[in-house]
Amino acid sequence: MENLELLLHSAQNIRTVNTDAFQKIEILNKNSLIHEYDVKNVISASEIFNIEREENEVYRIYGRLEYLSLLNGIKSNYFNLSDFFNPTFDYNSKSIFNSFDFYLIRPYTGYTNIVKDNNHNIYIRYFQIIATPNEFELIPAGYSNNVYEEQIYCFVFNKDFDVSTYYDDFKFPATELFLYAQYKKQNTPNEILSFIDWDLNGNEIITQFNPINLNIGDALKTINGKKIGDLIEYSKPLFLQKDYIPQTYYITTPYSVGKRLIWKYNPFIPLRLRYFTDQIYYGNISGSSYEQVESIPIYATEYPENSGNYVWRKILQQGYIDPIKQIGVDYPFVNKKRYLFANIILDVIPDLNDNQTYDVFREAQYGQYGIIKTSPIINDVNDISKPCL
């Protein structure tokens, strides 16, 4: 701006040049757009919360774990059948701490297609380690026992899991992770551990293996590199995966010459992250508008091949429960992460398909049934808050 010198009235005379000391402002009379950031809106905290929760895919996983098995509390050096029915719960007895290693796994690449029948597309699904026992913490829960007066435990993975990059071989985004309970037999080397494998015709093969330590990024496998998985049914036109046959681990416990018991359990415990909708969506990338193409998610499957037609299911929003199927999740969302709580029962049961095990439990006698007192208790109103006698 030009510097102007103002003359005082006392110094002015007839020859003084008139000086304009004011800046001119042009006044226009025309329409102008109001920018969006100039408009005052009422901010909904609930709406902002839902938007942030939907955009965030980071999970912290914790929960409650109950261990049910006759192997819990027995001596490691059992020699007689009676040792399985007389738990001691001392320092040297079997427990969840010295009997299991816990990992977190996710469905991974390398599915194997097998021929089960003409009406099903069956695959062996394999898994990858995403957390080891070093990231897993297990502690007894305070004042918590089950109906058998056995301790209940709390667990937590002390790291967060961003599932936004978790896709399987069929490009499905992760809707489940799995707690993998690896039985270890370091205290009882005479035990035999086996799992189910399948040949290309879908026939079950019971395969023995020794547990090994696994690291993050490893495929779930044996010491010989054999991958361990389960069976799923996959339908491409329906964009659907379903559990077909779960994995089963078998624990053979010889207790005398020529005598043994066989136990079994499912080592893959599902942890539900989210659900797909029941409705199927279709889209075509050829000749469609930009908006329609952009609405097709990255995980959509092209069907038929090279047709430009895609099929997919949407992921249900957090906090929404489907009114028909009653499926959905509503996990707390705090500190930019979703807190997934899982209530788990780890049960190791006798394999009654084994003849020796079946004969033992068929002949086992557990004593007389307890007598339940059904007569009503009559108390006076004045006895309220007093001890029961």
Contact assessment for residue 356 and residue 261, using Cβ atoms and an 8 Å cutoff = yes
Query: 130: which 2 tokens?
Result: 């995403």
Phi-psi label, residue 294: left if phi above 0, alpha if psi -120 to 50, beta otherwise: alpha
**b/e burial code for range 78-91 (CB count within 10 A of at least 16 → b):** beeeebbeebeeee
Distance CA 71, CA 88 (A): 11
Contact assessment for residue 172 and residue 240, using Cβ atoms and an 8 Å cutoff = no
| DSSP 8-state code for residue 352 | T
pTM score of the predicted model: 0.82
Strands 161-162 and 127-131: unpaired
- Helices (DSSP H) in 313-354: which residue ranges? none
Per-residue pLDDT of the chain (389 residues; tens, 9 = 90+): 555 555 555 555 656 666 666 667 777 777 777 666 555 566 778 888 888 999 999 999 999 999 999 999 998 888 899 999 988 888 888 999 999 999 999 998 889 998 766 667 899 999 999 999 999 999 999 988 888 888 999 999 999 999 999 999 898 999 999 999 999 876 677 899 999 999 998 899 999 999 899 999 999 999 999 999 999 999 999 999 999 999 999 999 999 888 999 999 999 999 999 999 989 999 888 766 666 777 888 899 988 887 888 999 999 999 998 888 889 999 999 999 999 999 999 999 999 999 999 999 998 766 666 566 666 656 666 666 666 65
Distance CA 1, CA 22 (A): 12
**Token pair 């110094």 is at which residue?**
11
- How far apart, in Å, are the Cα atoms of 264 and each of 69, 129, 194, 254? 10, 22, 9, 15
Measured over the CA atoms of residue 353, residue 354, residue 355 and residue 361, the dihedral's sign is: negative
Contact assessment for residue 196 and residue 248, using Cβ atoms and an 8 Å cutoff = yes
Q: Which of 126, 339, 112 is nearest to 221 (CA)?
A: 126
What residue type is 287 in one-letter code?
G
With vertex at residue 162, the alpha carbon angle to CA 157 and CA 163, rounded to the nearest 5 degrees, is 105
